Structure 1
Amino acid sequence: MKTLVIQLARLGDILQTLPALSAYCRANKKESVHLLVRKKFAEIAHILPVCNKVIEMDTKVLLEPTIMTGDAGVEDSLQAMQQWVDQLVSEGYTKIINLSFSPFSSYLTSLLTTEGVEVVGYTRHTDGFLAIPDDASAYFYGQVGVNRSNRFHLIDLFSSILGVEILESDWNIKKITNKDKSQGYIAFHVGASNPKKALSASALTKLLKVMVGSLNEDIHLLGAKEDIALAASIEQQVCNKKIKNLVGKTTLTDLIDVVAGANLFIGADSGPMQICNLTDTMCINFSNEFV
């Protein structure tokens, strides 16, 4: 038995997939379980392995010919896609579980489905219309549909689609449990994947000034390389030795370690919040009309 689990969404979705996937692997120990993710977000699946194999979808290889040369590159993109799909089909999967809810993932699932393969999640009929063979995915589609807000916690949704009950042990993923929180610092994420989610520089500065004036803990600033200028400006204006600027200096592994060791994580982006779920770190998520 060999199962392919497809998760083509972003970092936060992959992080929320891991506990449910851990439960699935625990309940189906005789199966070889592979997880398909986008290359851009694959690192987290390698850092926190819960299945037998992680497969990366390199969208650059598949789409670059079309993006760079327009219609002239479509044939090259289709050829690259066909070769990649053929490689996946040759794995001989007996079950395909699509945990993505995108049109692309449904077409991909359909292309990978050969005779006798069990399919769970969004796929396509032979005429191209959407097919949803399982009750959990169908219920999600009925409630959320297309371009509407999701009211379900994704971990509950993924575990329902996978047909598993998550145990406490499924949250305790190797490498990030039992971290020492005695240093007593607060991790503060200054940016966000979507600028609309983030607080303004002035708001961040005002908040951090209040925090350093009223709290004893050091505050570790976190963010991507594109947040370096923002963090430098904040650090200069707050001007307090409690501020430790780590923005643009951390790998994903470093980020997990920093979050795991923090007494509190504060930020506007949902992705790092999912790390808090796995590290048992208290968190505060900034909220606005986009969050």
Structure 2
Amino acid sequence: MSKTFTLIQLTRLGDLVQTYQAAKALKEIHPEVNLKLIARKNFAESLHFLLKDTFDEIIQLDLESLFSSDLSTYLQNIESWTQQESVQKTDVVINLSFCEPSNYLSSIINCDHKLGTRIDSNNKVIVKDQWSQIVYSMVMNGPYCPFNLVDIYKNILGVPPTVKETPEIEKHSIKKLAIHPFASAAKKKWKTSKWTEVIFKFLKDNPNAEVHLFGSKAEANDAGLITNSTLLKKYSSRLKSHVGKFNLEETTKKLSTCTHFVGHDSLLGHLAKTQGLPTLTIALGTVRPMETTPYGPHSYVLSPRSKCYPCFPDTECSFFKCHADLSYQATSAVLNHFVEKSEIDPKVIYDEISSFHLDSLDIQEFGQSATGWYTLEKIGNDSPIFRDFIRDIYRVALAFKLEEIEENLSFPNLNKEHLAKLEHLQQGIQQYYELCEFGKKYSRFILQEVSKDEPNLEDIKSFANKIDEVDRLQELLKQTYSELVPIIDFYKVTKFNLSGENIVELSESSYVVYNDNATICSVLYELFGQTINHLQKKFGVKAMTKDGNA
């Protein structure tokens, strides 16, 4: 008998497309599974043309019509909505949106098996499965999340990573470049004047090419600033604007007639990828390319090397240095080569553009690793970014810990400054490991005390206080070793979701979590140690002893 999986995705349109891509992968290996989707009414309607081929049933949630200024009425409306047979009839509920409405919705659907976040009877967020814990602790929480959201969703759904053959790109005599020069926030998009320069250079250098602008009605005024520019007047016959003219289904069909796509991080990049287009993403501001780059082969990313990139949505910024670090000269050279070859050869780029423009940016290819998960690989510029190395280290450690998958990682091209940082960070890992061992110790003491014929409650309280102290000290480590924040937060979420109904079960779960934490600390310590040894030999630096002497 086939099982029914209900996926909840109430966030943005781009997240809904990524959910569709993960669900499609599940359907390919388990066509017998009955897939339901709960999504916001306006989003589900806009993307119905895409979703209907993968989901057997799409349940639309109109939050606006359910809303009431009176909380009790609002909760009654929600509860009444969830009593529909189509909502309640399911074997598994999987919340992939990680927002407050979806957490409550997941909680009130009557189902024994639930993945993702939900609310418990004490009004606390619960997230039991480890891949969802990665989303809750790492995604949009800094630059260190080592997985794309589609791969995370696929792992939550139980889809194993598989290596697929990269399809050939169809050759076209006339290049039709789709451009979406807009984004949801000022931090994430260039000004129209910069896009005008890039389009001018592209049309000038490619006399047989066309540029097709895409966007929503809200972006029509900005599109007019580009199309009506004096600079582009000469090329008006090859510059076509579709901004605000089509709905999403019509836009997707129009995208399918183009040969390439370039734009900022947005829904249209994901839609272009569903049509098989090679994509080039201009990543700025808060965008974390590892998480949100359009999922599929022939995907490239242009991002700044600014120290402040990526930032957070609430980070104040008036200068937008990351925008300035991506020059239109470098972008134009990369774009020309991308459209001509559907790939990017660093030798060609470095022959055309001076290092003055290229040293402030990274060109990356988003493609499958040997395991089948997607990853970012640098093209050309070997200048290291320390945060990228730390992210890759976390990827290796978490892949082994969560799925027993071994991913190979080449020794990075780090410098002496990075060597000093690694040595410092390894000390942090050592301290973190020791705290985990203390956590195991006091969890074990509680179990031993409880097992006695006459347990001493004061001793149990004392051991519990020691565990609280261990947790506080782990939080303090984050202030000294900021690169450890992702792994400390991950296990903080894990510990918050301990399984158990009594002190014995909770202490057993606590011991297991601290033991798991200590294990991943050992893996990280070993990976850092191997890299440190490699760099010490490279630079002729003597190894440091435990007392800090050479």
TM-score range, shorter chain: 0.7 to 0.9
Preserved contact between residue 96 and residue 119 of structure 1 (Cα < 8 Å) = yes
Counterparts of 2:133 and 2:85, CA distance in 1: 26
Structure-2 residue corresponding to 1:62: 66
What is the CA-CA distance between 1:217 and the residue it aligns to? 0.7
Q: Which amino acid aligns with 1:5?
A: L
Q: Equivalent residue for 1:284?
A: 280
Aligned to 1:187: 178
For the pair 1:77 / 2:74, whether they are aligned, the reply is yes
Distance 1:180 1:214, change over 3 A: closer
Matches of 1:189 and 1:95, distance apart in 2? 37
Q: Which residue of 2 aligns with 1:222?
A: 214
Q: What is the aligned partner in structure 2 of residue 87 from structure 1?
A: 84
Distance verdict in 2 for CA 1:8–1:90, change over 3 Å: closer
- Judging by fraction of residues, say which structure has more helix: 2
In 2, Cα distance between the equivalents of 1:261 and 1:167?
Answer: 29
Pick the aligned partner of 1:106 from 103, 108, 126. Answer: 103
Aligned-partner Cα distance in 2 for 1:58–1:182: 46
Letter in 2 for 1:262: C
Give the equivalent residue in structure 1 for 2:363: none
Following the alignment from structure 1 to structure 2, what is the Cα–Cα distance between the partners of residues 166 and 256? 28
Among candidates 161, 182, 194, match of residue 203 of structure 1: 194
Q: Distance in 2 between matches of 1:90 and 1:247?
A: 37
Distance 2:242 2:278 in 1: 20
TM-superposed deviation, 1:182: 6.0
The 10-residue stretch of structure 1 (38-47 or 184-193) with the greater mean CA deviation from structure 2: 38-47
Report the alpha carbon displacement of residue 211 of structure 1 after superposing the two structures with TM: 1.6
Q: Partner residue of 1:153?
A: 148
CA gap of 1:236–1:141, structure 2 versus 1, over 3 A, is: closer
Name the TM-score, length of structure 1 as normaliser: 0.84
1:39 aligned onto 2:36: no
Which residue pairs with 2:223 in the alignment?
231
- Tell me the residue number matched to 1:252: 248
CA distance in 1, matches of 2:284, 2:31: 43
Q: Distance in 1 between matches of 2:173 and 2:161?
A: 29
Following superposition, the deviation at residue 123 of structure 1 comes to 1.5
Show structure 1 runs of 5+ residues with no match.
67-72, 173-177
Over aligned residue pairs, what C-alpha RMSD do you find?
A: 2.7
Q: Hey, what does 2:14 align to over in structure 1?
A: 12
Question: Highest relative contact order (Cα 8 Å, sep 6+), 1 or 2?
Answer: 1
Which of 12, 22, 25 is the matching residue for 2:24? Answer: 22
Q: Is the 8 A contact 1:23 1:165 kept in 2?
A: no
What does the per-residue CA deviation read over 1:227-251, in whole Å, with 9 as the maximum and x for residues that have no partner? 2122222112111211111111121
Aligned residue for 1:268?
A: 264
Question: In percent, how many aligned pairs have the same letter?
Answer: 27
* Matched AA of 1:137: S
Separation (CA, whole Å) in 1 of partners of 2:61 and 2:156: 22
Distance across 2 between alignment mates of 1:82 and 1:159? 29
Whole-angstrom distance in 2 between the partners of 1:20 and 1:31:
14
Give the whole-Å Cα distance in 1 for the aligned partners of 2:161 and 2:39. 21
Could you tell me how far apart the structure 1 residues matched to 2:178 and 2:163 are? 25
What TM-score do you get using the length of structure 2 for normalisation?
A: 0.46
Q: Paired residue for 2:203, among 212, 237, 254?
A: 212
CA contact (8 A) 1:181 1:262 kept: no
Deviation readout 1:139-194 (Å, 9 max, x if unpaired): 333444x854554201100000000136689x99xxxxx99966531111132222
Residue correspondences, number: 275
Listed one character per residue, the Cα deviations across residues 48-72 of structure 1 (whole Å, up to 9, x for unaligned) are: 2202011111122122x43xxxxxx
Q: Distance in 2 between matches of 1:246 and 1:118?
A: 45
Counterpart of 1:128 in structure 2: which amino acid? N
Rounded to whole Å, the distance in 1 between the matches of 2:273 and 2:245 is 23
Distance in 2 of aligned mates of 1:22 and 1:166: 14
| More moved, 92-101 vs 133-142 | 133-142
Give, in whole Å, the separation in 1 of the partners of 2:242 and 2:170: 19
Indicate if the aligned counterparts of 1:11 and 1:41 stay in contact, CA closer than 8 A. yes
| Residues 1:127 and 1:181: Cα distance change in structure 2 (over 3 Å) | farther
- The structure having more radius of gyration, on CA atoms, is 2
Instruction: Answer yes or no: is the 8 Å Cα contact 1:190–1:204 preserved in 2.
Output: yes
Once the two structures are TM-superposed, the CA of residue 75 in structure 1 deviates from its matched residue by 4.5
Deviation per residue, 1:70-90 (Å, 9 max, x gap): xxx445433322221222676
